[in-house]
Amino acid sequence: MIDLHNHILPGLDDGSSSLAVSVEMARVAAADGITHIACTPHISPGVYNNDFAAIRDALQVLLKAVNTSQIEIGLSIGADIHVVPDLVECICSRKAPTLNNTRYFLLEPPHHVCPPGLSSLVENCLSRGYVPIITHPERLAWIDYHYDALCEMQNAGALLQVTAGSISGSFGRRARYWSERMLEEGRVDLIATDAHHFERRPPILSRARDIVSRRMGERMASRLTLENPGAILADKRVAANGVLADVPVP
């Protein structure tokens, strides 16, 4: 399995607090059957002022430590990029890293309000050749009122990433309801852990994968935890909602 949303890098955000915690997270992930992690700390101006250079440097340190600890896991650069007015410029100028330097990047909308310009921001990114992966829509407080808007963004070419813990029930009934509904409606493009620690919010994908496999079949489980994330890492096209997103590589 491939996990494209993980706060494993130490000391950059509210995820791992130390290199030892990060190494333990890598160990737990590898034991769960995860072979590759995109390291995606928050980028949120004024809160987490991370940029490409800071994330790259932290990734190098973790790569070395994981290697020394003989943990078999691949690590790539990435970021969990909050909605900001100059988002497109941050990505185009490589101030904010995309996932493994591909056309795909994690876009984290605000949890409590749907920003009025979100759709046009997504369209703007797509028109510049970048594909936003909207993180954990099932956990957003405003999904009840704006689910249609999320579907429209996906129809336009954005991807939707659901949290593994929402499917397995760690985020409560509401997140489980939306993750199940989105799965049934074919709205989930990939599942990721959004891990922050090895025990609290751990990097575990297998539980959600097993649930999807039982309910929707092995093919779908594999698609959401391996094939689609793998295509993203390789900068290949991903079938979004049954329609191939044909976006030129920037």
**Of 143, 162, 206, residue with least CA distance to 4:** 162
Residue 138 binding Fe ion, by CB under 5 A: no
In the bound complex, what is the minimum distance in angstroms from residue 170's beta carbon to Fe ion?
Answer: 14
Q: d(Cα 217, Cα 183) in Å, to the nearest integer?
A: 12
Q: Tokens for 136?
A: 């954990």
In the bound complex, what is the minimum distance in angstroms from residue 196's beta carbon to Fe ion?
Answer: 8
Of the candidate spans 23-31, 84-92, 160-168, 190-198, the one that interacts with Fe ion by CB under 5 A turns out to be: 190-198
Which residue is at the shortest CB distance from Fe ion? 80
**Of 82, 132, 90, 88, residue with least CA distance to 112:** 82
Q: d(Cα 57, Cα 79) in Å, to the nearest integer?
A: 13
Coil, strand or helix: which one is 138?
A: helix
**Of 101, 100, 96, residue with least CA distance to 86:** 96
Of the candidate spans 26-34, 113-121, 145-153, 194-202, the one that interacts with Fe ion by CB under 5 A turns out to be: 194-202
- Cβ proximity to Fe ion: between 83 and 216 the closer is 83
Q: Tokens for 148?
A: 């249609």
> Residues 38-77: x/- map of binding to Fe ion (CB under 5 A)?
----------------------------------------
Residue 80 binding Fe ion, by CB under 5 A: yes
In the bound complex, what is the minimum distance in angstroms from residue 216's beta carbon to Fe ion?
Answer: 25
- Cβ proximity to Fe ion: between 24 and 194 the closer is 194
- Cβ proximity to Fe ion: between 24 and 80 the closer is 80
Coil, strand or helix: which one is 172?
A: helix
Near Fe ion by CB under 5 A: residue from 58, 78, 194, 231 = 194
In the bound complex, what is the minimum distance in angstroms from residue 7's beta carbon to Fe ion?
Answer: 6
User: Which CA distances in Å does 201 have to 192, 193, 197?
Assistant: 12, 8, 6
- Cβ proximity to Fe ion: between 1 and 192 the closer is 192
- Cβ proximity to Fe ion: between 180 and 194 the closer is 194
How many chain residues bind Fe ion (CB under 5 A)? 2
In the bound complex, what is the minimum distance in angstroms from residue 80's beta carbon to Fe ion?
Answer: 4
In the bound complex, what is the minimum distance in angstroms from residue 6's beta carbon to Fe ion?
Answer: 8
Q: Tokens for 248?
A: 């030129």
Phi, psi of 17, rounded to the nearest 5 degrees: -95, -10
The distance of Cα 87 from the centroid of its chain, to the nearest Å, equals 17
Q: d(Cα 45, Cα 82) in Å, to the nearest integer?
A: 8
Residue 24 binding Fe ion, by CB under 5 A: no
Interface residues with Fe ion (CB under 5 A) are: 80, 194
